Each structure stands twice: as C-alpha cells, then as structure tokens.
Amino acid sequence: MTKAVEVENLIEAVAIKENYELVDVQYVKENGDWIVRIFIDKNGGVTMSDCEKISLLFGAILDESDILKDSYVLEVSSPGPNRVLKKEDSFKRFIGAKIRLQTFEAINNQKNFLGNLLDFKDGKVKIEDVTNGIVEISFLDIKKASVETGF
C-alpha cells in the first residue's frame, strides 16, 4: 500500500464527517521535500476558508499518526476544473461532462479516450470517444481519468 493510500484511508472518514469529498491524495517528493497534496470538494465549491480548516484538521491527524516518518509539507486545495475521477461516485456525478480517460490495457487498439461521459452503471463507464464513438469500459480497467475542460 502506498503512503498516499495510507493517508487517504486515515482521513477519508473525517472528510465525510465534515461534509467534504476527498477527491485525491498525493504523496510526492519535489525539490528534496515530501509533499502531501490533498484535494477536497463539497457542494457549492471549496473556499480558502475550507482549505485552511481541513489543513489544520488533517495536519493534526497526520502528525498524531505514525504513517509519515519524514517531515512533509501539507497542501490542501480544490481539485480545480480538470479534477481527477477516481471513485465510482465521481463518475456518476460528472455524467454529461467531457472526460479524458486512460486504460491499463488497449481496448480496440486504444488506451487513451477523450469524450463525453454518457453513463456509469454496473461498474462500467460509457463514453462517447472522439475517435471510436461509444465505448464501454470497466471501472477496474481505468488507469486514470479526469474531467477535461479544454476541448
């Protein structure tokens, strides 16, 4: 299990209790510093005040836990317009949006898809891809996906 997943598992219930969606957690080393990036969302959008509140809350939880041994910088922000889609509920929420999706294995000789998210049901994403038209992709076959605002 990666550190990002460990952090996500530690804080997800708290995010839900505070009425936030935990969109993504990243744990990366940049310029010699460990960075914990936490992306949150909520109905009506995320404010700076929300980010400050959650930063203090999650920072205390992380400091009390034994997950991160090295010092780190904590960043909390909204996911932005090109937010990642990692959870089934996120796909359902963004039906009708334009998305970019990459699969682990090729489907009809294609791993990268771009188009309108038509549906999500029975563990499958239905997308109207700009190259191959309507394609159904199992949620488990998705390597990464995000909302696409630039097309």
Q: Mind listing the pLDDT tens digit for each residue in 65-76? A: 989 999 999 999
Rounded to whole angstroms, how far apart are CA atoms 7 and 30?
A: 18
Q: Is residue 83 part of a domain?
A: no
Q: Is residue 82 part of a domain?
A: no
Mean pLDDT of 10-18: 96
Q: Are residues 97 and 67 in the same domain?
A: no
Phi, psi (degrees; rounded to nearest 5) at 78 = -75, 160
Q: Count the domains in the chain.
A: 2
Q: Is residue 43 part of a domain?
A: yes
The model's pTM is 0.82
Range of the domain at 50: 3-77
Q: Mind listing the pLDDT tens digit for each residue in 34-55? A: 999 999 999 888 999 999 999 9
CATH assignment at residue 110: 2.30.30.180
Q: Mind listing the pLDDT tens digit for each residue in 99-126? A: 999 999 999 899 999 999 999 999 999 9
Query: Cα 130 to the chain's mean position, in Å?
Result: 23
pLDDT at 149: 83
